[in-house]
Chains A and B, each alone.
Chain A
Amino acid sequence: KAGVTQTPRYLIKTRGQQVTLSCSPISGHRSVSWYQQTPGQGLQFLFEYFSETQRNKGNFPGRFSGRQFSNSRSEMNVSTLELGDSALYLCASREEGGSYNEQFFGPGTRLTVL
């Protein structure tokens, strides 16, 4: 099976703009989670989608939003970008059921806000 894919891999934006990142999960995985990775804060959970519904949410402002489509692909959107939004954004997919909470990560999208 193909792994988790994320597009684009790199993005450069300026303050005040908005950005949309895309994630395609492993085939058959219906849960998609998003994380922000920064040197100062480490890996922080943004939100999780399952069957097109947000099921879990981290402590991020409303500028960060997401959605999931019927084919389980997910997008996250950040509006009114700030310098502090510069980070590696990681998407992870998970197979529902089973005894593990194992997630499979994509390579990430590196966002730079100037």
Chain B
Amino acid sequence: GNSVTQMEGPVTLSEEAFLTINCTYTATGYPSLFWYVQYPGEGLQLLLKATKADDKGSNKGFEATYRKETTSFHLEKGSVQVSDSAVYFCGGGTSYGKLTFGQGTILTVHP
């Protein structure tokens, strides 16, 4: 079956620091890959997505590139803000309405 391995953290950074959260996947076929973000007391919001090898997803300063050769989809941001503090989930899916998620990474950004 499919599986997603995600850097668990927690990750604590100062404002304007560089962020990387690692994510690798194992799947039959070539899944679409996603990063979702969850703020306290809320559901998951889609942050960015990629559907095929070498696709780069980007949104709100966050980026991730679908690397088929390393089966990775690492999340990066050049300069984090306090408002980026949240839980980040890497997920993948090959068909229909089933996504497999990593364990989530708690990010805390201090002023």
Contacts and interface: CB of A to CB of B under 8 A. Distances in A.
B46 interface: yes
A36 to B, nearest CB: 11
B95 A108 contact: no
Mostly, the A contact residues are: strand
22 contacts: A32-B97, A33-B97, A42-B104, A43-B91, A43-B101, A43-B104, A45-B98, A45-B99, A48-B97, A56-B96, A56-B97, A56-B98, A90-B44, A92-B97, A100-B32, A100-B51, A101-B94, A101-B96, A102-B46, A103-B99, A107-B42, A107-B43
Ranked 3 nearest A-B pairs via Cβ? A48-B97, A101-B93, A33-B97
A109 to B, nearest CB: 10
Nearest to A98: B51
Given A100-B49, A102-B32, A108-B43, A50 B97 contact: yes
A101 B43 contact: no
Contacts of B91: 43
Interface string B68-105: 00000000000000000000010101111111111110
B105 to A, nearest CB: 11
A99 B41 CA distance: 31
B49 A55 contact: no
B32 A101 contact: yes
The interface centre, meaning the residue of B32, B43, B44, B101 with most chain A CB atoms within 10 A of its CB, is: B43
Given A55-B96, A100-B49, A42 B44 contact: no
A94 interface: yes
A99 B89 contact: no
Of A56, A99, A101, most B-chain CB atoms within 10 Å: A101
Interface string A80-101: 0000000000101010000111
Contacts of A105: 36, 43-45
Interface string B1-30: 000000000000000000000000000000
